[in-house]
Structure 1
Amino acid sequence: MRRFEDEINLIKSASSISIYGAGDIGTQVAYCLLNAPYKKSIETFLVTSLEGQNKKLLFGIPIKSIDDVNIHKDSLIIVAVLEKYKDEIALKLQELGYNNYLFLTFESDLWAAVRREHFVEYANNNTFSKIKYLKDIDGGEILKAYAAKDFNVYIAKSHKDKKISAVINNRLWEKDIQVGAELTTERIADIVDSIGVNISRKNANYCELTALYWLWKNCKDDYVGLSHYRRRFDLSDEDISFIKGNEVDIVLTIPILNYPNVRAMYDKNHYIKDWNCMEQAIAELYPNYLSSFYEIENGNYYFAYNMLIMSRECLDRYCEWLFSILDLCENSHIERDNYQNRYLGFLAERLLSVFVLHNVDNYNIVYTDKFFYE
C-alpha cells in the first residue's frame, strides 16, 4: 500500500472540496487538484480574514472569510498553508464545527504524496516521463545483502538549527555532517565540512552545499547522498538493494509544484537578478544545457531541497558542473537578509533539475518519498 493511499482516495472521492488558504500553497494545491488525475471542482477558497486580500477570485473561484460562509459539515476542507499556521486554523475549524479536513501544508508528506499523483500525469507530456517513481518500478534485481559502508546518505546539520520535536535515530546508512563548521567552535557531529578540501566558510551562501562540496572532494563511497536533519529519504533496505542491484545513478525526492511556472515563483520569492546570472553562467559554460534550463524555468516542477543520492561517477560529474556555475554567480552585490543570503543554495535546487533533465538518457534516475520532521 502506498503512503497516504486512504487520504488520497478521500480527496478523489470527495463530492465537495474547499481550500483553506489563498496564498502560494493554496494556489499550488488548487492547480494540482483541478488537473488530472483529480479533476476536482473547488467550491471556495477560505481565509481567516479578507483584510489585506487584494483579489476576490482565484482560478475563477471565490475567496471568502471562513466566518462568512456556510459550508456543509461533511464537505472536505483542505488546509493549504505554512506549517506554523496549522494549530490556529485547526482550532478555528473545530470551533465552527468543521471536523472533515486534511492538512496539505508546504512541507507535509501528505502534500508530497498528493502532488506525486499529479506529477505522473504532468510528466507524461514532457521529458520528465523518463524519470520513474521508485515504488512503481516492477521487477529488477534485489540483492540479498548490500555493503552499507559503500552507500551513505549524509545528514546536513548546523549548530543554528532549531530543535525538532521528534526523536530520530539514524539508520545504518545515514551519517551526520556538520555544515559551516569553520564558522563556529561548537561541534554537533563527528564529521565536519571544514577539514580537507572544503568551502565551509561559505555556508551562509551555499547552505547544505558546503556538505555536498566536502563529499565530492573527500568522500569515496560508491553511492553518496545528501539530506537534511528535518528531511530524510524514505528508503528501506530493500530499496537500497534495488538501487545498487540495478545500477540506479540518481535518487531524488518527489518534486515541488510551482504555478504559474518555476521562474515566476523564483521571481516572487527571491531576486530575479540571481536567476538571470545563473542563466548567463549556463550560457557561458554549458550552452548545450540551455534547452533543459528553459524547460525547467517554464515548467511547473523541480526537484527541491538539494536532496540527492548519486553514484560516485555521477556525483563527480554533477558537482563539477554545479560548482563551476555557482562560482560565476557568487559575486553578488545585492543587499540581503539572512534568508536571501542563501541564494546559491536556492539556485542549486533548480540547477539539480536542469542537470537531471539534460542527462535523463544518460543516467538511470528515480525519485521516492521523504520524511519531514517538525
Structure 2
Amino acid sequence: MPTDSELYLPILVGSTYNYKPEIDFQRDDIGENISAKNPNYNELTAIYWAWKNLSDVDAVGLVHYRRLFSHGGTRSLNNVVNRDDVESLLENTDVIVPKKRHYYIESNYTHYIHAHHALPLEKTRSVLEEKYPDYVSSFDMQMKKHSAHMFNMFIMKKMYFDQYCEWLFSVLKDLESRIDISEYSTQEARVFGYVSELLLDVWMDANHIQYREMQWQQMGDRKLVLKAFNFLKRKFSPSSEKQSHF
C-alpha cells in the first residue's frame, strides 16, 4: 500500500463491522454512509462515502489496497502514479480508468453468468428500461463486448464523479428491491459490487465520456488481506504551489 499520506488516503470499508482502534484509516461509517451494506456493496461503500462527504476537491478516485494505477514495468510501489501524472492526464480527459480486461472467448455477459447468478443482470436491465431508457442500448452493447474496465478503479473530475454516483446508486437501490439475496452465499451476496463493475462502461458510453486508460499493477501477497482501499482525492490549485491529497 502506498505510504505517501499527502497523496493517498486509505479508507477502511465496512467500518461498521471491521473498525478497530489500532486501524488508523479513514472510516466509511462517518457522516452520511452505507457502511453497513459493505457485505453486499464491496468497495462501493468507500465510493459512496466520498460522494456524500467530500466537497472541496476537484477530482476523486479509487484504487485497491493491492491494485494500483502504475507506469507498468517492475511491480513496485515506485511505479505507482503520482500527482503530476494525474494532473497531466486530467488536463486532456475527464476520467481515468484501468486498461481493459479481455475475455476473448466469452462476452462480458457470459463471463458474468458463468461466475454469478444471472438474475441480477437481467433485473439491472429492467431497471434501466424503466428508469433510464437512454442507457439500455449501451448496456446491451457492453454485455456483448469481450472486454471491460473492471475493478471499480477510476479517477474522475469531481463533476463527473458526482454524476456517476447519482446514477449508479440510483440503479443499485432499485435493483436491491428486485432481487432476493437471502439465500445467496457470502460471496454471491456481494452482488451489487459485482454488477457495478459492468456499469462503469455503460455510464461512460451512454454519456459519451472522454476517458484515458492507464496500466495497473497488483501488489503484495493475496493472503495479506485488509479490507481497505486507497481513496484518491485531488484539490487542484491554480497557484504554483500544488495543494493535493489522494
> TM-score normalized by structure 2?
0.79
**In the TM superposition, what are the counterparts of 1:148-297 in structure 2 within 5 Å?**
168-170=2-4, 172-187=6-21, 188-220=23-55, 221-234=57-70, 235-246=81-92, 248-258=93-103, 259-297=105-143
Bigger radius of gyration: 1
Q: Which runs of 5+ in 1 are unaligned?
A: 1-166
The alignment yields a C-alpha RMSD, in angstroms, of: 1.6
> How many angstroms apart in 2 are the aligned matches of 1:340 and 1:364?
33
Three-state SS of the structure 2 residue aligned to 1:243 is helix
The structural deviation recorded for 1:174 is: 1.1
Which position in structure 2 is the counterpart of 1:340? 188
Which position in structure 1 is the counterpart of 2:152? 306
Query: Which letter maps to 1:295?
Result: M
Three-state SS of the structure 2 residue aligned to 1:369 is strand
- The CA deviation string for residues 207-237 of structure 1, in whole angstroms up to 9 with x for no partner, is 0000000000001211000111011111244
> TM-score normalized by structure 1?
0.53
**In the TM superposition, what are the counterparts of 1:67-82 in structure 2 within 5 Å?**
none
Q: Which runs of 4+ in 1 moved over 3 A?
A: none
> How many angstroms apart in 1 are the aligned matches of 2:83 and 2:49?
26
Contact between 2:90 and 2:157, CA under 8 Å: does it hold in 1? no
Contact between 1:177 and 1:189, CA under 8 Å: does it hold in 2? no
Q: Identity over aligned residues, as a percent?
A: 33
Three-state SS of the structure 1 residue aligned to 2:139 is helix
> How many angstroms apart in 2 are the aligned matches of 1:203 and 1:349?
15
Query: Which letter maps to 1:205?
Result: N
Larger RCO (CA within 8 A; separation ≥ 6): 2
> How many angstroms apart in 1 are the aligned matches of 2:207 and 2:6?
30
Q: Which runs of 5+ in 2 are unaligned?
A: 71-80, 222-246
Query: Which letter maps to 1:285?
Result: K
Decide which of 202, 209, 224 is 1:354's aligned counterpart.
Answer: 202
Which position in structure 2 is the counterpart of 1:68? none
The structural deviation recorded for 1:336 is: 1.4
Contact between 1:304 and 1:350, CA under 8 Å: does it hold in 2? yes
Which position in structure 1 is the counterpart of 2:225? none
> How many angstroms apart in 1 are the aligned matches of 2:83 and 2:162?
25
Query: Which letter maps to 2:198?
Result: R
1:366 equivalent in alignment to 2:212:
yes
**In the TM superposition, what are the counterparts of 1:49-198 in structure 2 within 5 Å?**
168-170=2-4, 172-187=6-21, 188-198=23-33
The structural deviation recorded for 1:302 is: 1.1
